[in-house]
């Protein structure tokens, strides 16, 4: 009867026949191979398959030490037999984990940092071989890395319009500190998932130190208005259809997405409360009305002050007039702030309108988000009790509120704000 022969796999070393008496105890799976030694241990992979894990060394002692470590890993849990590069893992993490399970804004924030920084810098290294030293050494280069040179931004322009790095004049477009913080945060989040998949044993990004960044790309704009500047701005936009939106971002410190996503069913004028439950944002070319605010533990409702109530009443009248004028072209979205046809307002258009009003009102140009820093000063000028201000500012401790609740407006400013409120009621 013919005997059945089993040939060795092409990627596994052929094990020579040796006498059992020449093998030491506990070394039954270690044997000479080519110019050194080889050994294997049966392990369970993260996919649940039972297979061999091979290890090699120049001497039997070296191979035996690796073999023992491999046995220890196999006793603790699954052992990966195929190792991805950092770049391959990051791409898979974005596609299979972040995009389907996280908010769209999270994916949009992670994707460019992975594509432009992490993959070019660390993508070729093996995931299981990535060390703290590797990540720290790469992070240390970021503050002096010209992103225009590194990402070939100037080279992508038409040849006649190249003006800096492509023609030998480095523009020194260094990444901001917040960008470097975001890069490390993204890598740390990805490696945390790799630990959950049992691909690595520790998060090397969490053990690194952020490098100091003294070089900035652009001069930072002023981020705080005085009470007089805020009052001057509100007086300038008094007749603007979006006046109530500017009041809410200044007096209640609402974010742009929270204001533009505010619906009438979340406004209680009689109860003098406003519920913050939705955001309107543009992500990946789509305008999304998300039923989730940025801060999960923030209050479900905020108190409406007199100035806000008057402004919202005025806004309702303006919207009713716009609805009547639009007729059949009106599209009811239920939102407080809409275009003249009832559709949601494009966030970027809101930014442009705000910047134009800053210029025409003669106040320093700031971002819409920076108005939150002026909120505490305005609340103090409107004689709002610190406990109410604490709720509006969403602080966890009253001491934090009192630290920023210190600017005292002049009697003239208080009188002007009161007059502004009275004119709305009238």
DSSP letter string, 131-191: -HHHHHHHHHHGGG--HHHHTTTGGGS-GGG--SGGGT-----PPPHHHHHHHHHHHHHHH
Of 272, 225, 211, which is closest to residue 253 (Cα–Cα)? 225
Task: Pick the last residue of a domain from 57, 76, 95.
Answer: 76
42 lies in the same domain as 131: no
200 lies in the same domain as 58: no
Neighbours of 75 (CB within 10 A): 10
How many structural domains compose the chain?
Answer: 3
CA-CA distance, 299 to 275, in Å (whole number)? 8
pLDDT tens track for 340-394: 999 999 999 999 999 999 999 999 998 888 888 788 777 777 777 777 777 777 7
Q: Which alpha helices (H) appear in 197-305, and where do they start and end?
A: 227-236, 243-251, 256-260
166 lies in the same domain as 250: no
Read off the pLDDT band of 216 (50, 70, 90).
very low
Task: Pick the last residue of a domain from 207, 235, 258.
Answer: 207
Q: What are phi and psi of 92, to 5 degrees?
A: -65, -40
Asked if residue 328 has pLDDT above 60, the reply is yes
258 lies in the same domain as 353: yes
277 lies in the same domain as 414: yes
Tell me the residue range of the domain where 363 lies.
Answer: 227-425
379 lies in the same domain as 399: yes
pLDDT tens track for 220-253: 555 778 888 888 899 999 889 999 999 999 888 8
- In the numeric block, the tokens 């492509």 are attached to 166
Q: What is the pTM of this model?
A: 0.65
Q: Does 212 reside within a domain? A: no
CA-CA distance, 102 to 97, in Å (whole number)? 8
Of 417, 274, 270, 410, which is closest to residue 337 (Cα–Cα)? 274
Task: Pick the last residue of a domain from 146, 172, 207.
Answer: 207
Measured CA angle at 277 (ends 274, 283), to 5 deg: 130
Neighbours of 194 (CB within 10 A): 22
What's the token pair of residue 256?
């742009």
Residues 89 and 190 sit within 8 Å (Cβ to Cβ): yes
Measured CA angle at 111 (ends 105, 115), to 5 deg: 165
Using CA of residue 52, residue 196, residue 119, residue 188, what is the dihedral sign?
negative
Of 2, 36, 32, 35, which is closest to residue 15 (Cα–Cα)? 32
Per-residue pLDDT, 369: 85
């Amino acid at each position: 009867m013919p005997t059945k022969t089993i040939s060795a796999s092409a990627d596994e070393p052929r094990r020579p026949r040796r006498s059992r008496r020449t093998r030491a105890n506990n070394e039954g799976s270690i044997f000479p191979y080519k110019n050194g030694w080889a050994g294997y241990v049966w392990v369970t992979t993260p996919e649940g398959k039972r297979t061999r894990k091979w290890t090699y060394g120049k001497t039997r002692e070296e191979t035996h030490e690796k073999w023992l470590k491999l046995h220890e890993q196999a006793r603790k849990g699954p052992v990966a037999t195929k190792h991805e590069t950092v770049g391959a893992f990051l791409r898979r993490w974005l596609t299979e984990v972040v995009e389907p399970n996280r908010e769209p804004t999270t994916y949009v924030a992670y994707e460019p940092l992975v594509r432009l920084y992490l993959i070019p810098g660390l993508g070729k290294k093996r995931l299981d071989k990535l060390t703290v030293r590797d990540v720290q050494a790469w992070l240390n280069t970021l503050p002096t890395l010209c992103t225009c040179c590194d990402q070939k931004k100037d080279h992508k322009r038409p040849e006649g319009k190249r003006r800096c790095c492509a023609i030998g004049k480095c523009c020194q477009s260094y990444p901001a500190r917040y960008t470097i913080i975001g890069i490390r945060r993204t890598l740390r989040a990805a490696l945390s998932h790799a630990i959950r998949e049992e691909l690595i044993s520790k998060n090397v990004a969490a053990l690194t130190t952020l490098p100091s960044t003294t070089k900035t790309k652009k001069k930072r704009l002023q981020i705080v208005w005085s009470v007089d500047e805020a009052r001057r701005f509100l007086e300038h936009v008094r007749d603007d259809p979006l006046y109530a939106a500017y009041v809410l971002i200044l007096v209640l410190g609402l974010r742009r997405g929270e204001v533009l996503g505010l619906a009438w069913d979340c406004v209680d004028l009689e109860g003098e409360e406003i519920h913050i439950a939705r955001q309107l944002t543009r992500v990946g070319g789509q305008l999304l009305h998300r039923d989730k605010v940025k801060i999960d533990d923030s209050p479900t409702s905020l108190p409406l002050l007199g100035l806000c109530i008057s402004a919202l009443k005025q806004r309702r009248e303006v919207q009713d007039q716009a609805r009547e004028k639009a007729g059949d072209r009106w599209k009811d979205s239920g939102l407080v702030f809409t275009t003249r046809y009832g559709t949601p307002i494009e966030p970027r258009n809101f930014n442009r309108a705000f910047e134009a009003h800053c210029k025409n009102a003669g106040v320093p140009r700031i971002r819409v988000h920076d108005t939150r820093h002026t909120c505490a000063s305005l609340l103090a000028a409107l004689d709002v009790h610190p406990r109410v201000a604490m709720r509006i500012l969403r602080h966890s401790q009253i001491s934090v509120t009192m630290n920023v609740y210190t600017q005292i407006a002049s009697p003239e400013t208080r009188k002007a704000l009161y007059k502004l409120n009275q004119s709305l009621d009238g």
